[in-house]
Every structure is written in C-alpha cells, then in structure tokens.
Structure 1
Amino acid sequence: MIHRPPAPNSANEQKIQRVASAALFAALVLVALWVVREFVPAVAWAGVVAIVLWPAYQAVERHRLFKGRTTSLATVLTLAVALLVVLPITITAIQAGGEAHDLYQWLRTAQENGVPVPDVVSRLPFGSHQVSDWWQANLAQPLKASPAMKNLHGDAIVSFGRHFGARALHASVTFGFMLVTLFVIFQAGPRLSGTVMRGARRAFGADGAQLLQRMASAVRATVTGLVVVGLGEGVLLGAGYLIGGVPHAALLGTVTAVAAMLPFCAPVVFCLAALWLVVQGSVVAAVSLAVWGFVVVFVAEHFVRPVLIGNSTRLPFLLVLFGILGGATTFGLIGIFIGPALMTVLMVLWANWAE
C-alpha cells in the first residue's frame, strides 16, 4: 500500500472546514431558536423554576419513597408548582366574583345618577373648590354623559375586554407549556444536570462550568429575595390594612405580597387602598397607611432585597438593583431573574481580567 504525503493545503482545508462547520452549526441553532421562538418564554420560566427548586429536588430524590422514581417525583413537584400559582389566583377570582354584583350595581347607579362629591373634599386643606368644581362637572352628573367618561364607550370596553382576554389566554398557554417543560426537566433529573455541566466544561472549560454555577446561584438568590421580601411586605401592609379599617385586609395583603414580588409594584395596591379610605372620609387613616406603605417599600426595595440577593451572589448593592430593574426593562418579567445572573457574569469576568 502506497502512502502519499499530505497535500500542502490540507491544514488550510481543515481550518476552513472547521470554520464552515461552526458557521453551519450556529446557523442551524439560530434557525431552530427562530422556529421555537414562541415557546422560549415557557422554557425560560421552566429553567428559572427548576434552578430554584433544584436543591429541594435533590433532597427529596434521596428519600426512600422517591429513590429511583423520577417520574413520580417530577409529577409531585410540577403539581406543587401549578397549585402555588393557580390556587391564589382562584381564591382571588372567587373573592372578586363575590364583590362583582355590588360593583355592577354601583356602576349602574353611577351611570344613571353620577357619583356625589364626597364629604372629605370640603375638608381638604387646600384645593377643595377646584376639586369640587371638577367633580361636579365630570362625575356628579350621570357618567354616561360625563366628559371625563366620553372615551369609555361600549366599543372601547369591548376592545379592552378582548385584549385582556387574549393576553390572559396567551399567559395560560405559556404557563401550561412551562409546566410540561418543567416536568420533563425534573424527569430527566441528575442526568440532565450532569449533561449540562459536562457540556459547559467541554465548551468553556472549568471556568465556564463554574460561571454557570454562579449564574444558577444568582437566579436562585434573586427568586428567594423576591419571594421573601414580597411575603414580608404583604404581611406588614396587611396589618396596616387591618388597622386602617380597609375591608378584606387578608385578601388585599395577599395581593400586595404578589405585587411586592415585582419591584415597586406594591405602591399601586396600598395607594388604591389609601384612596378608598379617603373616599370614605378616613383621611388620617389613609395618610398613615400611605406613609407606612412607602416606608416599608423603601426599606424592602433599597436595603433588604439587595442585601438578600447580594450576600448570596456576592454582588454589590448597586449591581443588584441595576440587574433587577434593567433586566425587567429589557426582558420583561423574566428579566428580573436574568438581570442579576448577567451582573454575576460581569463581575466574574472583571475579576478574572483584573487578576
């Protein structure tokens, strides 16, 4: 058998082939992501939930009841996640449905007779005449003929209802696919975790695998900080609702806790509660509730939450705050968790470059 010497350009050909293969793989990955682009949010949410629950998954997996039963464990955890989301929404919807009849009757009365000027307007320290005049011109007369309500005609309400229904349907479908993806991730279990880590080491080396672990820790710490701080704000503001005489204080505290898990959303809830107190004539209680709410939110958002997240991820306060707010602005709700993870990557790269 005759061995021929390699062609002079074989090294160049191999280099060109490697570049072409990399370009082809990258193009195929981009095409695949474009094809499944509608399902990327569901996969991202499933990844966040799986990262947060992974320590609990590993602990439960070692128990004798679930040892070797990954399908049963995946089913239990997925159902638990579904209940944690669906149950509060269902309870809130039932409570809201109970109040719907009274709200409908009030709206019908307002449409026919208008809304009388509250007594508290006359007791305002300043601007009472201006507020009273505006109220008389826009709200005291039947709302169906009010200038302030001219844009709230039937077509606008129907359009809003359709838009809200479409958004709710889209969110429900995304949630359903998220649960399916989460079940698959849990069912794969340690095998999937090992594959991801081996792939990270092969592609990026030991430093890349360690960086991936730091990002997962950042996501887990962010979720923990959001949930813990949100529950704390809900409890403290729920106590404020109860003391101030706001009806359904427990339900409103639950709504506040959910809103507080998103940065700076809790003020919307307690400000509406304070406005209700003002309409009822309880000005002192309304001001006290508003002041208490802003104090709680300020301390929670600027000190407690960044400390909880920063201590786990070793991120400075400012990077935690920028990561949460910038991530939410750029990527939407999922960006609240992506932002701190990206800030962690930035810190690690900076530390490695500065050494």
Structure 2
Amino acid sequence: MTIPMVLAEPARHRGRMDPPDPLLPGRAQRLAGLFAGLLLFVLGAWMIRGFLPALGWAVILAVATWPLYCRARAARPAASRLVLPLLATVGMALVFLLPLGAAALELGEEARQALHWAQEAHLQGAPVPGWVAGLPLLGPQASAWWAQTLAAPQLGAGFLHRLSEGELIGLGRSFGGAVAHRAVLFGFTLLALFFLFRDGEALAAQVLRVAERLFGPGMERVGRQAIASVRGTVSGLVLVGLGEGVLLGIAYAVARVPHPLMFGALTAVAAMVPFAAPLVFGAAALLLVAEGSPGAAVGVLAFGTVVLFVADHAVRPALIGGATRLPFLWVLLGILGGVEAFGLLGLFVGPAVMAVLVLLWRDAAGG
C-alpha cells in the first residue's frame, strides 16, 4: 500500500463513521433545541430592543400601505425590485417629513416672535393684555401676576433672564437630543420599510410556515385577522383624525381663532387618540373667550362636539370593527391599553391583539 493510499484511508473511514450517540433521548433533545432557539431569540430581541419600536412602525406602515404598493407594482410590472420599493419608501418619508417641516417652520417663526416680545418686554415693559383679564376663573390672579412681573420696564428682568439662559438651554439640549434620537429611529424605520416592500411576500410566507409548524394549522386566519385589524385601525384613527382636523380647521378659520392651521393640525393629531381632541378645540374656545368672542367659542365647542360624536360613534366603529367584526368596546380597550403599554405604537398594536383574541375566543366557543 502506497503512502497516499495510507493517508487517504483514515479520511474514507471517517466519512463512514456513525454519528455519536445522543446525550439526551429524542423528546428531551427536541425540547432542548427548542429552548436553545427560544433563548437565542430572546437574546437577539434584547440586543436590538432599542430598535424594536422602529421595526414595529415599519411593519405597521408596510401592512397599511401594502394594497397600494401592490397596485403600483401591477401598474409597473417592468420596474425592478430596487426601484419600486425605493420610490415607495421615499414617498412614505415625504408623507411624514413635509408636514413636520411645515410645523418646524411655523414653530421657528413663533419662537422668533416670542424672543422679540421678550426683548421688548425687558426694555419697555409689557402691559397686561386684555385677554389675560378675561380668562375664566384665573383672570384676576393672572393679571396681578403679570402686573407684578412683566408690566414695568426691567421689572421682569430676573424672570426673563432665568427663562432665557437657564431653562431654555436645558430645554434646548433635551429637545435636541430627543430629536436626534427619533431621527435615527425614523431612518431605521425607512430602511426596514424598504426591505419589507422588497421582500415582504417571501418574508410573510416564511413567517406563516414557521407559525404553522410551531402552532399548527389555522395561523393564516389569525394573520389575516391581525392584518385586517391594522388596516381598519389606520383608516379609523389616521384618516378619521385627519378628517376631523380638516373640518375643525375650517371652523377655527371661520371663528377667527389665532393660527387656525396650527390648531387644525393639532386637532388632527389629537383626534387619533380617543377623547384627546376636546382638549384642543376646548383650548381654542377658551382663547376665543379671552379675546372677547364668547359666541364664536360656543360655536367651536358645539361644532367640535358634533364632529367628535359622529366620528367616534358612527365612522370609527364601522371602519375598525367592521373589518374584523370586533365590538367597539374591545376596539376602545385595545387602543387605550395599547397606548398605555406601547406608547403611540399601541394605537395599532392594541386593536390587532384584541382582534386575534376575539377570533380565538369565537373559535373556542364554536361560533
């Protein structure tokens, strides 16, 4: 036997070796593998816990806009797997960045005017405005504080000095840090959204296959229920909230509320959270009362109450509950509980969880 054959013999022998005997029996070995996989999953989730909200927002946006994306893909079948997802992601970015940019410009102008007013008040004093005395319940106390603090020249120097140097610097640092953090999360959301648009169908098939292997058949119905709930919640909260903001923005302009566009935008955002919109149009009504327009204030309150009643008792239940046959009580509990547990993301996660739970309950109850 030659030397190469002698050297090759152990390799062939090793190729025919039987696998080692398992240390655990078959069932215990499968449980150990499942436990190890679960442990690795928890470890991975803990490592990226700071980016989980961004991933959640990307999933919500992809689920909500997927029908529109499929229509665009059907209309442009020749588009590559890179161009169409990129255009869709850029479009979603503009949907958020354009309103935020307009709001930032408005806030910048308001801040400039506020600083100019503070300088004038420091040099010449700021007489008590008429609307301060007209504030309900707080008018006399507010007028007295204003007269003692800001009315005469140099009288409010200490107050304005502390406000401009101490609190504003700290507030600016906190605000800048928060903006930078959220900008990073927003960029990561867009990155994840691009990959979801590009590979969404393959990823959904993999998730469904793994879920059915872990929990058995029927997971497709659960997934469809959750998806329908997310889309219904987006329509019921976001679209209805925007509609309320537009209607009440027109009412603010008619009633001559200062900065009606800003109040309309605040109303649209607040209307996405149940029972939050009255805080905005109530503040607008108080501002009208302070300016000596109680009739317009009553009109804003009445119109806002009617719009809110119709939206919360007719439109939203039809959009959210109608998509999943979910009673509005459970929709409301899902929204409020989701916001408490997950913040703003819970607006969409909460109703989806409730929709799945109600579906499982109906299956267990046999109807």
User: 1:249 is matched with which residue: 238, 243, 260?
Assistant: 260
Deviations 1:321-346 (A, max 9, x none): 11111100111010110100110121
Distance in 2, Cα, partners of 1:12 & 1:131:
77
2:60 counterpart of 1:55: no
Partner of 1:269: 280
1:24 aligns with 2:36: yes
Percent identity for Structure 1 against Structure 2? 42
Q: What's the counterpart of residue 308 of structure 2?
A: 297
Larger Rg: 2
Match of 2:346 in 1: 335
Partner of 1:6: none
Q: Distance in 1 between matches of 2:150 and 2:301?
A: 25
Q: Distance in 2 between matches of 1:333 and 1:44?
A: 11
Separation in structure 2 between the aligned mates of residue 51 and residue 273 of structure 1, nearest angstrom: 36
Does residue 59 of structure 2 align to residue 15 of structure 1?
no
Residues 1:139 and 1:308: Cα distance change in structure 2 (over 3 Å): farther
**TM-fit CA distance, 1:182:** 0.4
- After TM superposition, the structure 1 stretch with the greater mean CA deviation from structure 2, 197-206 or 226-235, is 197-206
Paired letter, 2:61: V
Of 8, 32, 41, the residue aligned with 2:53 is 41
5+ long unaligned stretches in structure 1? 1-8
Alignment correspondent of 1:4: none
2:270 touches 2:277 (CA, 8 Å); kept in 1?
yes
Q: Deviations over 1:224-255 (max 9, x none)?
A: 11122111111111111111112443454234
Aligned position for 1:258: 269
Q: Which one-letter code corresponds to 1:116 in the other structure?
A: P
Q: Structure 1 residues 59, 108: CA separation in 2 closer, same or farther (over 3 Å shift)?
A: same
1:183 and 2:189 correspond: no
Partner of 2:217, secondary structure, is: helix
1: distance between equivalents of 2:79 and 2:212?
Answer: 27
Quick check: 1:215–1:341 contact (8 Å CA) kept in 2?
yes
Q: 1:209 to 1:136 in 2, by over 3 A?
A: same
Report the RMSD for the aligned CA atoms in angstroms. Answer: 2.8
Native 8 Å contact 2:236 2:320 kept in 1 = yes
In 1, Cα distance between equivalents of 2:350 and 2:91? 27
Q: 1:136: how far off?
A: 3.6
Instruction: Report the Cα offset of residue 125 of structure 1.
Output: 8.2
Could you say what secondary structure the match of 2:176 adopts?
A: helix
**Aligned mate of 1:346, from 347, 353, 357:** 357
CA apart distance, 1:218: 0.6
Asked if 2 retains the 8 angstrom alpha-carbon contact of 1:315 and 1:344, the reply is yes
Distance 1:126 1:206, change over 3 A: closer
- The answer to whether the Cα contact below 8 Å between 1:113 and 1:143 also exists between their aligned partners in 2 is no
User: Once the 2 structures are TM-superposed, how far is the Cα of residue 18 of structure 1 from its aligned partner?
Assistant: 1.0
- State the Cα distance separating 1:84 from its structure 2 match: 0.1
Q: Does 1:104 align with 2:79?
A: no
- TM-score between both structures, scaled by the size of structure 1: 0.86
Taking a change above 3 Å as real, the CA distance of residues 294 and 160 of structure 1, as seen in their structure-2 partners, is farther
**Alignment partner of 1:227 is 2:238:** yes
Task: Kindly state the Cα deviation for residue 269 of structure 1 after the two structures are TM-superposed.
Answer: 3.4
Please tell me whether residue 198 in structure 1 is matched to residue 226 in structure 2. Answer: no
State the alpha-carbon separation in 2 of the partners of residues 211 and 291 from structure 1.
Answer: 42
Q: Distance in 1 between matches of 2:240 and 2:162?
A: 39
Alpha-carbon distance, 1:281 to partner: 2.8
**How far has the Cα of 1:175 moved from its partner?**
0.5
* Contact map agreement 2:241 2:269 (CA 8 A) in 1: yes
TM-score, normalised to structure 2, is: 0.83
